[in-house]
Amino acid sequence: MKSLSFALVLSLGLSSIGCAATEPAASEDADLKAATTLTEKDDGRTVSYNEGQSVIVALASNPSTGYDWAVTATDKTFGYPVTTKFVASSSKIGAGGTTKLTWATKGALSMVGKHAIELSYQRSWEKKPTKVLHFVIEILAAGALKPVRLTDANNKGSASAKAGQDVIVSLSSNPSTGYSWSLVNADKSFAPVETFESTSNAVGAGGFQVFTWKTTGAAALGAHQVTLNYQRAGDTSPTKTFTFSVTVAK
Instruction: Provide the residue ranges of all domains of the chain, joining segments of one domain with +.
Output: 8-140, 148-249
What CATH topology corresponds to 148-249? Immunoglobulin-like (2.60.40)
Task: Give the tens place of pLDDT for each residue, 151-204.
Answer: 999 999 999 999 989 999 999 999 999 999 999 988 888 889 999 887 776 788
Domain 8-140 is of which CATH architecture?
A: Sandwich (2.60)
Q: Please give the pLDDT value at position 145.
A: 86
Task: Give the tens place of pLDDT for each residue, 234-243.
Answer: 898 999 999 9
In which band, very low, low, confident or very high, does the pLDDT at 217 lie, cut at 50, 70 and 90? confident
Residue 7 has pLDDT above 80, yes or no: no
Mean pLDDT of the chain: 84
Q: Please give the pLDDT value at position 14.
A: 38
Prediction pTM value: 0.65
Q: Please give the pLDDT value at position 26.
A: 38
d(CA 217, CA 110): 29
Residue 227 has pLDDT above 90, yes or no: yes
**Identical topology for domains 8-140 and 148-249:** yes
Residue 122 has pLDDT above 70, yes or no: yes
In which band, very low, low, confident or very high, does the pLDDT at 13 lie, cut at 50, 70 and 90? very low
